Amino acid sequence: MTTLDIQDPKAIEKRSFEIIGEILGDRVFPADREGIVKRVIHTSADFDYADNLVFSDTAVASGIAALKGGCTVVTDTNMALSGINAGNLKKLGAAKACFIADPAIAEAARANGTTRAVQSMIHAAESEKNRIFAIGNAPTALITLYDLIKAGKIAPALVIGVPVGFVNVVESKEMFMELDTPYIIAKGRKGGSNVAAAIVNALMLEALK
């Protein structure tokens, strides 16, 4: 019977990133993006993100500035919310929020014949503190942000657009990349709440350096 070497969590994470580096080989990423790409790969075990994760020119700098300025990170799922490191948020004086389970959001969605994801973005647009949006599940949330930005109702510091799935997922991402708003987007159908949280966590590590 094979005995596996069980190590402490920090050692496991360190070795995991070493393996990621070994597999990536000679791949070179911009210094401010390397940690983000590798953390997403670490979270998903999917090396496609080395090519699929795309950044607007000012995305990382804008996200870091917003975090250091004490912004609120808004997610479209409670799963993404729970995956964001609360300790590092506290160190930065930042916060996180998700409105998807709010009864008032559910009621507004019923009244307007839309989804809770749509209504949660509309609600989030009401506060200037909500500067980073991490969308990992609902393309309708990303589309709503697009509409709100075009209408001049919100100006996010950064939108993380990594919804996963098959209906309107690719289209919502491609559409959003037409805007001047800073973005980090996973092109194609891949993504997820875990990926959205991983990107926020990687940004916070950059901000805390």
Catalytic residues: 42
Which residues in 121-154 are b (16+ Cβ under 10 Å) and which e?
A: bbbbbeeeebbbbbbbbbbbbbbbbbebbeeeeb
Task: Kindly report the number of other CB atoms within 10 A of residue 97's CB atom.
Answer: 16
CA gyration radius for the chain? 17
**Residue-wise DSSP of 68-119:** HTT-EEEESSHHHHHHS-HHHHHHHT-EEEE-TT-HHHHHHHHHHTS-HHHH
Q: Are 47 and 23 in contact (CB under 8 A)?
A: yes
